[in-house]
Each structure stands twice: as C-alpha cells, then as structure tokens.
Structure 1
Amino acid sequence: MRFEDIWIAGTGGTLGDRVPVEHAIADGSYSADVARGTGMISVAQATQAPPELAVTAGRQAIKAAADHGVVVDRATLHLHSHSNYQGLDMWPVASWVAKELIGTDLEGQPTVVQAASNGSLTSLDLAATALQAGRAETALITLGDRFAEPVDRWYLSPGMVFGDGGAAAVVSRRAGLLRLDSIVSETDAALEGLSRGDEPFGTESVPRPDMRKRTRAFLARSGISLSEVRRRSGDRTVSVVTRALTEAGRTLDDVDWFVTPFVGRALFQDSFLRPLGFTPRNTLLETGLTIGHLGPADQLYALAHLVTEDLLRPGSTVLLLGTAMGFTFSAAVLTAA
C-alpha cells in the first residue's frame, strides 16, 4: 500500500548489555562451530522486563517527536508488539505500557500486535493505515522482548541468536524524520508448520519449546523439503520488496540503506541478498552481529540507530524487510526528511 504524508516523527531504542559470545561458548551454551557460521560477536542481555524495555524506548521516541512538534496524547493510537513472555501471565501488557507513557485516561484501546518477528512492520502498517483513514493524528508503537531462561536464546531459531531490547516509534500525519512511502505484506501459511511440527494442541504453555525438533518434524512429514522452503521464502522476499519499491516509485538501485532482521551472516546472505541478487550500499548486518535478533523490534530499533548515529542524508531511501514464522514477509520504503 502506498501512503501519503505519513511520517516517523520520533524513534527510540534500548538494549541489554552486550555479552561476548565467548562466554556462552565457554559454559557450553553455544557451539564454537555454530558461532563461526553465524559470525555473532556479542548478544544483548537485559535484566529489565520486556515492558520496561518498551517504555524506555517509548520515552525516547515521544521526546524526539516532541522536538519536531508532534505530541503524543490521550487520542494517540497505541500498539505494542512482542513475541516472548512479558513478565506476567494473563495481563494486559499494552495497557500498562500506555499508562506509563501516555496516562490513565485514553480515548482508544491499547492493542497488542502478535506478529512474531514481523511486529515492527505489521505495527507500522496498522498505524499508518489508521492515520491515513483519519482515525487518529498520531500513533505510538512500542516493542520489547527478553529471551531469558528457560528460553534457549542460542538455538531458538537456526542461523541467529536472540537478543534483548526495546524499540519505539511515533507515527504522525504532520511531519517527521522519515516519510513512509509504502508497505507490502504477504503470507505463505503452508509454512506455518515449521514452528508447530507435529505437536498436538495442549492446555498449557511449554516453557522451553524445541523449535528445531518442530522444524525437523515438519520437513519429515509435510512433503515440503528444506530446499522448497528456501525457494518459497526467497520468492516471497523478492515479491514484497519488488511490490513495495514499485509502489514507492523506486528500484533497488535507489536504496541507500537495506535493513533486514538481525540474523547471522550466513542466513543474511542466503535469505536476503541471494534471492534479491543485489549488493546493498549500506546495511546494519555488523550491528546485528553485536546485539542479536530482537524479536519484533529489529526494524524500528534499526531506524532509531540510523537516526541517533546520524547515518541518514536528506532524501536517503531506506528499505526495511521483515520476516516471521507464519510465514510472513513484509517490506517498507521510507525517505529521510
């Protein structure tokens, strides 16, 4: 979908402490051979609860937006996204985050966006669509996750390590740091079984799901091979990127920053660069290798990083790519003010 006059007015991002992967190799949590394949250097590990990480990032984004004349208030649409445990069971986490950041008297309903690792772009799409339809003047997106025990951050998903952090963005119809030009999403639901395997539905959550076992079970029984999974995923990546760029009136040659999920070096090459067949001018791969995959927060954390490190020139084109179990694929094109 193409958007008109929808802006990112403020961004925020926070991380846990960067812990060298050598510590995990030394205590047997992570294999040295796997570490060489991913290229991971360190991983962000937090002591704060995920909603607290989201609030920290949210305060940064709200302040940055206010500096550009955009105010978050009781009429602001609030979306909160996460993929892992938020610290309490049976608890409206979005309401708590909104209370901490906006107040107790709200016109709308704080809403959780459950889109796994594609939470940044899914939330941005929902917020931008609502603003363009005139349902709100501003939106606040918050994200926060921590992959502490009993979750196995080192082997939760092949080719990456999960880090702890939060991100946020204020979206506005007025002005801002980056103009949102387009977002496109697609889903290949035939691949949802990669995250389910052949496990029956239960009555309680599993504290340490064996995601590698589920993937092996799916590949053994689904009739879809690993090479077919890669082909289908590559085709969807090409499709959303091509459609988003076309709707924005751009091509891959126009992209100044290509921002993907924070995955390991081999997966970055195989899942993102190889299908698209291009060499981007700038990426945040090296940054990702020092912090890990932040669940749904990667893309909005990346925008905060680009802004705070003053890496964007006026008119720079940013291409964001999001993928998640499901399997979902999203791409967004933004232009720096």
Structure 2
Amino acid sequence: MKWENLHIAGLGTCLPDPVPVEEAVDAGRYDAERCKARGYVSVCAFDDADDSPQTAPPETAARAARVAVAQSGLGERDFALALHASIWFQGLDIYPTASYVAQGALGRQVPAYDVQQRCNGALGAIELAGAQLATGIRPGTAALITTGDRFAAPGVDRWNLAEYNVYADGGTAMVLATGGGFARILSTVTVADNALEGITRGAEPFRPAPGAAIDLTARSAAYDTTADGKQADLRTGRLIARARHQALADAGVAAGDLARIVTGSTGLFENGWHWHHLLGVDEHLTTWEYGRTTGHIGAGDWAAGLDWLLRTHALETGDKVLLFGGGAGYSLTAAVVEITALPY
C-alpha cells in the first residue's frame, strides 16, 4: 500500500532501567550457554517484587502516550482513533486497556480498541489506523498506537518463556497524523500465513480458563513433532521476502537507499543468524545494537527502535527507514518511512 498523506508525528517510550543479563545468569534464572548464544546484554525489567501501579502495562502505555501526544502538538479533538497492542496480562482480566490509555493520554471521547496480534500488533496497527484516517469515517486527523506489557514472575518467566527471546517490560507510543509530522510513511505491507499459528499452540488443548504455566519453547518443540519445522521456516522466509520486496516497491525505494532498518529485538537465532541475514543487509544497519540492551519489548520494539535512532541522531532529514517485524500467527508488516524533520 502506497500512502500519500500519512505521517509519524510523535513517539514515546516508558521503559524501566535495563538489568544486566549476567545478574540473571548468576542467580540461576538464565542459562549461561543460552545467554551467550542469544547475544543480549541487558533487559528492561521491573523488579518482580514491585507491584506499584506505575509498573502496570496500562500505565506505562499511557505514560508513553502522553509523551508522544505532547511531541505531536495535537489535542483530543484531532484524534479519530486509539489502538493498543499487547502480548500478555494487562493487570486485570476482562479489561479494556485501550480505553484506559486513551483516557489517560487523550480524553473521554476518542474510540479505543485493543489489537491482539502478538508482536506484530502495533506495527500492523499502522495500516489499521492509516486506513481509518484515509476514509474519514469519523472526525479527526490523527491516531494513537500504544503498546504495554510486563512479564512478571511467578505468572511468567521472562528469561525462559521462549527459546530466542528475553521479554522486556514497558510501554511505547506512536502518533500518526495526516496533517504532517517528522516522518512520512511511504508504504506499508502486511502478509500472513495463518496456518503457522500452531507454532505457538503446540500440542496444548484449549482450556475453559487461564492459569496453566506458559512455555512457548515447549509449544514450539511439540509443533515440530507433528509438523515439518523446515517447511515452516521456508514459509516464514517467503513471507519475509514478500513483505520486504513489496514494501520497497510500493515506496519506490531500492534496498540500497535504506539508511537504517528497525527490527524486532529478538535474540540471535541458531549459529548467530539474525534479521540482517534474512533481509540481506549489514548488521550495523539494523537496531540490534539497541535491542540487545532492551530485550524484546513485544509489540513495542519498532516505536522504541525508531525513537532511539532519532534520539541518538543516527538519522538525517531525507533518510529512508524500513520498519520490519512480525508476530505469532504468523503475520509480518513492513513500513517504509522517510525522515522529513528531526524532532530531537
């Protein structure tokens, strides 16, 4: 999809201080060999004993949102929509997190919805929000996209929940606007293969209520016993190539024209492979330098990664940036943006 009038007008993050991974290794919480193989240096994490309201996902998302909205210079009446993406428990069961975030950052009257597509929730929400703004079905020229998660024990073990990830806490936010901003979205593409949902289901039965221990590594291993894991890898690889190619083509941008690529902060794959290999670029063009210090912020990696590039003055006006990531299900979204102004 080629966009003619969609911009990023604000970014915000609310992340706890990073905790060195060696502390988890020394405490016996994170396997030393896995730590070495995955490449993380630190992970943004609240203390498990800290149950203050400020650590709850709805609150970190709302705090990040207020930063992004302030940066955008827009008011409540400018917003047509708020979307919130998350991976895990939001502090209460059967609870509309998106409404809390919208109330805390925008006000009472902006429609708010939760988007549940795992790590691709926020990146994919760019298309959802952009489409609504383009149709003009309700007043407003802007949309707010937020993320928020907290992976606290004993409910979940951030260090061993998944083979390749260590999950981070915190919230992120992005403001989209048709009236201008500091980055113009040139194109977006979302591709999916829903048959790959089994990778995160494994052999586990559906249950009438939550409460069972969560082990995504075990689920993936169970999937491999009944399905062809190599075929799953090949199908995922085809999705990656398709999304990358189509997003660049729609934007009219060559791969060599990309200044940087914001990738998900997943740990290194087997034999040191990572996103730069899959995308055919040098590692220094990606945001792994940053991601290995934050851990995987779930659906928030891309807002946080772009914000980091801008705050560290790694981008200049005119630079083209690819936001590229996916989430269990399996879906992938790619977005090509052009930096039109420097917000910091």
**Is 2:161 the partner of 1:156?**
yes
Q: Is the 8 A contact 2:80 2:133 kept in 1?
A: no
Paired with 1:74 and 1:332, the residues of 2 have a C-alpha distance of 24
Measured after TM superposition, the shift of residue 165 of structure 1 is: 1.6
Measured after TM superposition, the shift of residue 311 of structure 1 is: 2.3
SS at match of 2:93: coil
Aligned length: 330
Measured after TM superposition, the shift of residue 215 of structure 1 is: 1.0
Q: Which runs of 5+ in 1 are unaligned?
A: none
Measured after TM superposition, the shift of residue 293 of structure 1 is: 0.3
Q: 1:109 aligns with which of 105, 108, 111?
A: 111
Equivalent residue number for residue 60 of structure 1: 67
**Is 2:215 the partner of 1:213?**
no
Measured after TM superposition, the shift of residue 172 of structure 1 is: 0.5
After the TM superposition, list the runs of 4 or more consecutive aligned residues in structure 1 that deviate by more than 6 angstroms: none
Equivalent residue number for residue 335 of structure 1: 338
**Is 2:93 the partner of 1:86?**
no
Q: Is the 8 A contact 1:120 1:143 kept in 2?
A: yes
Equivalent residue number for residue 33 of structure 2: 33
Paired with 1:278 and 1:75, the residues of 2 have a C-alpha distance of 37
* Higher mean C-alpha displacement, 200-209 vs 31-40: 200-209
Paired with 2:134 and 2:265, the residues of 1 have a C-alpha distance of 30
**Is 2:321 the partner of 1:318?**
yes
Paired with 2:212 and 2:129, the residues of 1 have a C-alpha distance of 32
Q: Is the 8 A contact 1:11 1:64 kept in 2?
A: yes
* Higher mean C-alpha displacement, 146-155 vs 172-181: 146-155
**Is 2:13 the partner of 1:6?**
no
SS at match of 2:285: coil
Q: Is the 8 A contact 1:262 1:298 kept in 2?
A: yes
Paired with 2:148 and 2:16, the residues of 1 have a C-alpha distance of 11
Paired with 1:333 and 1:127, the residues of 2 have a C-alpha distance of 16
Query: Aligned ranges for residues 126-275 of structure 1 at < 5 Å?
Result: 126-135=128-137, 136-149=140-153, 150-222=155-227, 224-225=228-229, 227-266=230-269, 270-275=273-278
Paired with 2:235 and 2:274, the residues of 1 have a C-alpha distance of 11
Paired with 1:306 and 1:125, the residues of 2 have a C-alpha distance of 22
Q: Which runs of 5+ in 2 are unaligned?
A: none
CA gap 1:41/1:75 in 2 versus in 1, 3 angstroms: closer
Query: Aligned ranges for residues 260-299 of structure 1 at < 5 Å?
Result: 260-266=263-269, 270-279=273-282, 282-299=285-302
Paired with 2:207 and 2:144, the residues of 1 have a C-alpha distance of 35
CA RMSD of aligned residues (A): 1.7
Measured after TM superposition, the shift of residue 229 of structure 1 is: 2.2
TM-score normalised by the chain length of structure 2: 0.92
